[in-house]
Structure 1
Amino acid sequence: MATDTKSVQTGEAAAAQAQSQSQSQSRSQASEDLAALSQHCLDMMTNITTLLDELQLLKAALDQQPAIGSKALPWNQAVPGLGAFERLVQSEKRNVEGMLGICDSARSLPDDPRDAAHPDDPDVELEAANKMLRHKLDACNYKFHQIVWDTAKKCHRLAGLRREMPRSTSNRKRDTVVVDVVGSGGGEWVKIITTTERRLFYEMTDAGWEWDEVEVENDGDGDGDDQASPLPLPDEGGENDIEILRITRQLVTAASLAYHEYRHPTVRVLLSRIAQGRNAHVDRLLNHVRTLGGSSVHLVVETTNSDSHAGGLLNRPVPPIDEATANLAHREPFGDFTGTLNVDCSVFMALASDFSHMEIHPGSPLLRNHQHRIDAEDEVSNGPRLLTTLYPAITGRDLVCTQDAADTFLKIVYDIGTDSEQARTRVLFGSPADDDDDDDDDAGADNDERRDADRRRRRDELAALSKYPVPEDLRLPIRTVGTITWQEAQRLVGKGELPEVALAVGRKGSGLNAMNVSSFLYGWKSRLTTITSNWEAAKRLRMLIETSEPPEDRSRFGPGPQIWRIPFARKLLARPREAGAERAPIKTRKERKVEQATSLERYTKTE
């Protein structure tokens, strides 16, 4: 009996020892798991802190961009969505801080489960802490934010982060699609899709993909002959179950409603976890996705094995932050100007007006109407405009204008301009003899010397008529060129030197007058930058071009007109009305529209 009792006691002791060893091993494993999770959280905190620091550098770079013509935009307006993106990252940082707090609490649990200060089983608490940490890590979206930011750092001229773009759905309701990165000043939309190949297989199965269909051959470059073939799906509605198809279609729809430099933005879809060439069914799906842009929207689909040397973005190395912020914040309004500028009548007003060259206080008795006061207040708030905007834009470049623009301005200034405004006009424009000399290729060095001497003389005369210094490389006089007649425009379209959409500017109801049309067409035909302060005319021209060309013909559009709109307008101060003289009647808006339409009608019917 004693032997049996001793055996039982020995067995219980062995069981207790085994249980203790098991608990110790379990606690040791849980502690190791906690240490690994804690280190993972610390690494995440370091990366998130770095990301936030880099966002601060970008914000500082955006705020340091020089203001051209108007007050500089703050960083949150220069890059829409940047503030919201930063708040998302800050939210992830707070989540990680909470996880680190859980780690600290779990590490403070006693090693001895019999500790009276902790009535709950510490092993259970430790395992619960690890489980909670894993759950929070699974819900953490930091990695995606890091991918978005790394992708953005590869781009240039950042115009948005995580922006919602409007699109039209089949039932005509307005909806939006999120674009992760808007680059190239708005000309490129980048969308990152993190779907795995395994998840894609599930989606294709749910959509009714016919896996038994004969697999098509694919060389992996996305240019297979099956690109336009229908997908092996029971109906088109099944495509909505496949995320890549659904999102790409939404992006293309949204891009077809937007324009950048007269074109729809490029849509670039980055499949960060899918490779081309591994599975024939996936390749067939990707080839079909690449056809969704049609001929109107340029669509690029990249995979993990896309060639970065062929212009790909996904596998391009991430540049250092200093280089990235310089590229993202770069705002050079004159960087793509042509060496010769086509100047329209509204710019002549700004160059000759007394408002530009004198200090006229908004309360001055010289101001005789509301527009005068607006010009004077603008000079005080944002000026002097000559030095902050106009001179920087035109200095160092040859200046030309159409004969129509010159004639219109000269008539106005000699009818109503002050003596000083007329004197500046004579400085700005050369005589026909001057133009002939410029075109004489045989004049050689003597002609260059005469030209340089004439420019110095004109700059000195302009400086004497202005309160502000005149740049050394202001190239005067403005040279007049021939007018683009309507018949000439039609001939240029027939020869392919202008796209057919250019003729839309002469249609009835375009809102442009003959001088506007002639000036814009000359700049377009000559591939010159046209500068104007006539915002209304420039806006109408853009609208006509964007809405007149059918989307299927967009690939044959060619380069559109390059127009830079000066962010201000100037009227002439003009001579005061003589005593007893009748005031000229003020034209109504309707009368001005009729005048524009009549001018355009005469222009298009000129033989």
Structure 2
Amino acid sequence: MATPGESQDKQRPESEGNEGDDGTSSALHGLIARAHNLLAELHHFRERLDSLRQTRNVELGHFRGNIQSELSMLERLVAKPLSTSTQHVARSSNLPFLECVWSTVKKSEGVIALQKRIYTNSSVKLLSQGMKHVDLNLNGSGTKAKGQKPGKGQKENAVIVDAITDGGRTWTKVSLVTNQRMLFDLAKQGWDSGGSESEDDDFSRGQDEEDDDRDIPVLKTAKELTYAANCFRVKTKKPKVHLILPRVTEGEVPEIDRILEDCRKTGAELFCGGNLEPERDIKEAVKTMAIDPQESFSDVLNIDCTILLALVSEFSHAKVEKAPWFHRALQRQVEIEDNENLLPSLLYPAMGNRQLVCTHEAVTRMREIVETIGTPSEKARTKVLLGDDKTKTQADLVEEMQEWSAYSVPKNWQLPIQVVDQNENECQQNLPAQALETAKDMTDINYSVFLYGWATGRTTITSNRTVVKQIETHLETYVDLPDESWPRIWLCPTARSLVGKEKRGASKKSEPTNEVIGKKEQHTAWPLPDPLRRELQRRNGLDVLSQRAGYEVEDLRPNGYPMEEVIEAKENSIR
């Protein structure tokens, strides 16, 4: 028979084992809850990007995939019987690292990518927007610059950057290495804690002279990341490198401090456990993580000709059906407008209650286009937009524009748009030398629009992607340009042109023919039944024009009529 003492000894391990299992289970459930919270905050950030239409500009997929993989692994562990290996996996979860990356990102501005693989030996596998690859043969002699490793394959020439922020200008790497781990890495390299100071100096110098493979991991990471950053330019500037070390403490071990100093000598800026900023709430953090460009707009906006046309276009103000003679670009505009209304979703918020101006050249060209191919309603909107009737107030113009639009026109829209001289007050004397060189091949209209905004420091709103790209490409050929040298431009992500007119002689599909006394009479356009004809007249503003001319216009749909009637009329017209 076992003694009472023996019984207690046999029961103790079982009790301790149950407590260990309970602790592991609790830890796993805690990690799962933290993973869900991380995904929820990431979703909150995604919603912010969606609201600013910046989702395509920010790479989050790889980071989110890592969180999801970690969560799936943890959920599988919870579903299995607990074991020693389960405890080990719970302790070695990668979730704390992912949380640290996310915490760092929430303190940043202008997030571009998370956990991005960057190739330093290829200009094809580039980064995100605004990143330009450069040849890093810094010596200019055909030989490798100091610190540059020879190519050993694609993997040898790529690094993982945990966060690219500040519009691409800051590259951040997070490491959860500890002081103890760094000392262990030093010991592996043959470092002896009992050595003299001179011996330590000899070791440090030897590290500089030996191959990079002899570096301890944290120093090797700093070197690789700074080298990769030197391979790229963002608005002519090298990206800054930040190394986040939340579990490292400075000032306790001289050898650790010496390693950190070597990391700083590579050009990296270090942030250790004692000098990290406090955690930020996600609701406040997203406002800087994804910056609304409209918040930095100037008080006076310079409107390009492309936007002037968009502000009066039939596509922007009414529901336009695809016509057989529409070319592909017009058809695409119809599709985009069906999914997203340009004026209420983009242009009206961008303009707000700011004063609007445009150059003589821009408005002259806009009037020429409207006069040539504009519909009656587009011509009428142009007169309102530019305030041709000088007796009307801002409120009058807004009210009149509302008559020509299917969407609500903001009461604070500052109509009319004021026409200015491109060199008013001799503003072009303020232009940097790079501006004149950049604009030498521009058309007169683009020259007037973009250099006026550049010279006055006013934000230019345009959908002319080609010219904006030309400006950026030319400026990127310079070295280390100050931010003040760059023009303030907001590129509207979508364009709108006028509906235009059908070309004479344009081919039509299955054109109808009428047999008249045995002859086939071909029509140049479809004979429209009355409901459809009246609908087209209404959309083109003919009712309003007729009323203003003093004619009585009969409303054939006083109580409205179902859309099915219009569709049926259209189908009948093409039979």
Structural mapping, 1:23-422, within 5 Å:
25=9, 27=10, 30-31=13-14, 33-62=16-45, 64-65=47-48, 73=55, 79-94=60-75, 96-97=77-78, 101-102=81-82, 130=84, 132=85, 135-137=88-90, 139-155=92-108, 158-168=111-121, 170-171=149-150, 174=154, 175-184=157-166, 187-204=169-186, 212-214=196-198, 231-233=205-207, 235-238=209-212, 241-257=215-231, 264-293=238-267, 299-306=268-275, 315-320=276-281, 323=284, 326-327=286-287, 332-362=292-322, 364=323, 367-383=325-341, 385-422=342-379
Q: Using a 3 Å threshold, how does the CA distance of structure 1 residues 34 and 537 change in structure 2: closer, same or farther? A: farther
| Counterparts in 2 of 1:232 and 1:40: CA distance versus 1, 3 Å | farther
Q: Deviations over 1:363-401 (max 9, x none)?
A: x36x54333322223222323x22222222212111122
Other structure's SS at 1:37 match: helix
* Secondary structure of residue in 1 paired with 2:81: helix
Q: Quick one: distance in 2 between partners of 1:318 and 1:33?
A: 36
Change in CA separation of 1:234 and 1:166 when aligned onto 2, cut-off 3 Å: closer
Structure 2, unmatched stretches of 5+, are 122-147, 507-575
- The answer to whether the 8 A contact 2:312-2:382 is kept is yes
Asked if the contact 1:167–1:250 (Cα under 8 Å) also holds between the matched residues in 2, the reply is: no
How far the C-alpha of 1:178 sits from its partner, in A, is 2.0
- For residues 33 and 524 of structure 1, the distance between their equivalents in structure 2, rounded to whole angstroms, comes to 73
Structure 1 pair 28/561, CA: closer, same or farther in 2 (3 Å)?
Answer: farther
Q: Distance in 2 between matches of 1:264 and 1:540?
A: 21
Measured after TM superposition, the shift of residue 271 of structure 1 is: 1.2
- Tell me if the contact between 1:504 and 1:545 (Cα under 8 Å) persists in the aligned partners: no
Residue pairs, 1:409-558, within 5 angstroms: 409-429=366-386, 454-483=393-422, 491-492=429-430, 498=432, 500-506=433-439, 512-546=442-476, 548-550=477-479, 553-554=480-481, 556-558=482-484
Give the C-alpha shift of residue 577 in structure 1: 5.2
Number of residue equivalences? 472
- Look up the equivalent residue of 2:74 and give its one-letter code: K
**1:450-475, Cα deviation, whole Å (9 max, x unpaired):** 9xx62122222322333333211111
C-alpha RMSD over aligned residues? 4.1
Measure, in 2, the Cα distance between the counterparts of 1:524 and 1:215: 59
Q: Percent identity?
A: 25
Shift in Å at residue 361 of structure 1?
A: 0.4
Task: Report Cα offsets for 1:216-255 as digits up to 9, x if no partner.
Answer: 99xxxxxxxxxxxx95525152475222222223323443
Normalising by structure 1, report the TM-score.
Answer: 0.66
2: CA distance, partners of 1:389 / 1:234: 54
Q: Which moved more, 1:562-571 or 1:176-185?
A: 176-185
Contact 2:32-2:75 within 8 A present in 1 as well: no
Q: Sort the Cα spacing of 1:231 and 1:470 in 2 relative to 1 into closer, same or farther, 3 A.
A: farther
Unaligned runs of 5+ in 1: 1-12, 104-129, 218-229, 294-298, 307-314, 435-449, 581-607
Could you tell me how far apart the structure 1 residues matched to 2:97 and 2:497 are? 53
| CA gap 1:368/1:330 in 2 versus in 1, 3 angstroms | closer
C-alpha distance in structure 1 between counterparts of 2:430 and 2:446, whole Å: 18
Partner-residue secondary structure (3-state), 1:101: coil
**1:193–1:270 CA contact under 8 A, matched in 2:** yes
The TM-score normalised by the length of structure 2 is 0.69
CA contact 1:520–1:530 (8 Å) conserved in 2:
yes
Q: Give the deviation of 1:341 after TM superposition.
A: 1.6
Q: Distance in 2 between matches of 1:96 and 1:549?
A: 55
Corresponding residue number in structure 1 for 2:563: none
SS in 1 for 2:256: helix
Give the conservation status (yes or no) of the 8 Å contact 2:162–2:173. yes
| Aligned-partner SS, 2:259 | helix
| Deviations 1:248-277 (CA, angstroms, capped at 9, x unpaired) | 233234434556677554432111222223
